[in-house]
Amino acid sequence: MENLGKPDKKILFPGCLILYRFPEYEISAKLVLNQLNVETYSLPECACCGSFLQGKLDDWPYMTAYNLALAEEQHMDIITLCGGWINVFRRFQHQCRQDPGLMERVNERLRPLGLVFKNEVKVCHLLEYLHENLEALAETMQKKIPLRAAMVNPCQIFRPQEIMNFDNPDDLRAMRRVAGLAGVEIIPYSQENQCCGSTVSLADHDLGNIVAENRLIELERKQADAMIIACGDCQLLLDRLQKEYHTGKPIPGIFLPQLLGLAMGFTAQELRIRSPHIRRWLKNG
């Protein structure tokens, strides 16, 4: 699709895990967003979002407020690639609306840094943005990718529903609609809407592995070629589990923007697709 008109300027916040483990997610997201006439910028001097500190340290809201205040200073809204990131930011913004005293406390901490948080910045996950611009996204598709693929829904961007306000957690359809534009055959399976196991593993490592292993066993039985993923935590756990424990057929993960990028005509190299299984499939397909 030819980029026409004034570009939509957004801050792209990958999240720490994606920055150091899955740069291909960020690279492919930028390529896809560029096709939708979105100009992406980094958030200068950003810090940890606070998601892993929530419930453990009382100071986590200040880290969240700091990042949001930086974005407000740039006068740009945020697109994030991380489920934990969007969840903690939406929760914090919700708490600020419920408790004006929280706004006062965080701004007191931000004042020495020359920052003010007004709770005006809009934050969304990449999947949300793509779903909101479904028609424009459809116009960028140049070919169909005939993979038999399974959705791994990024659970934290949907729950709790009263705060996240995106899709129906009990009947998720947004990711299916977006991925379906690439022409993939989407395989239904019983655990599609369940946690991948990553968040569970923070409390119970063995249980997290069992949850993930059950998914892989079912997808092997369903003869899935790949898993479509939109969260770094999902990719980390499912990839690690297959390398260390799972003895069945490999079922590689492909990030949602990598899949869409293939349908847009980008090469596997441009999209930084690392999986030898997917690269072999593309070469033979």
Query: What is the pTM for the complete model shown?
Result: 0.93
Write down the pLDDT at residue 162.
93
Write down the pLDDT at residue 3.
47
- CATH fold of the domain at 8-126: Glutathione S-transferase Yfyf (Class Pi); Chain A, domain 2 (1.20.1050)
Write down the pLDDT at residue 241.
87
Averaged in consecutive runs of 10 residues, what is the pLDDT profile of the chain (285 residues)? Answer: 73 90 96 98 85 68 93 96 91 94 96 97 97 98 95 92 91 95 96 86 86 92 96 91 80 97 97 90 74
Length of the chain: 285
Beta-bridge mates of residue 13: 80
Q: Can you tell me whether residue 186 is helix, strand or coil?
A: strand
> What are the phi and psi torsion angles at 213 (to 5°)?
-65, -40
pLDDT tens per residue, range 143-196: 999 999 999 999 889 999 999 999 998 889 999 999 999 999 999 999 998 888
Write down the pLDDT at residue 199.
79
Closest CA to 93 of 181, 163, 196: 163
Q: Are 212 and 189 in contact (CB under 8 A)?
A: no
Question: Can 8-126 and 142-284 be said to share one CATH topology?
Answer: no
What is the residue extent of each domain of the chain? 8-126, 142-284
Cα–Cα dist 241/99, whole Å: 41
Tokens for 157? 């961007």
Cα–Cα dist 133/147, whole Å: 23
Q: Which amino acid is at 279?
A: R
Write down the pLDDT at residue 154.
92
Write down the pLDDT at residue 177.
97
The CATH code of the domain at 142-284 is 3.40.50.11810
CA distances (Å), origin 83, targets 20, 51, 79, 106, 182: 16, 10, 11, 23, 22
Write down the pLDDT at residue 1.
45
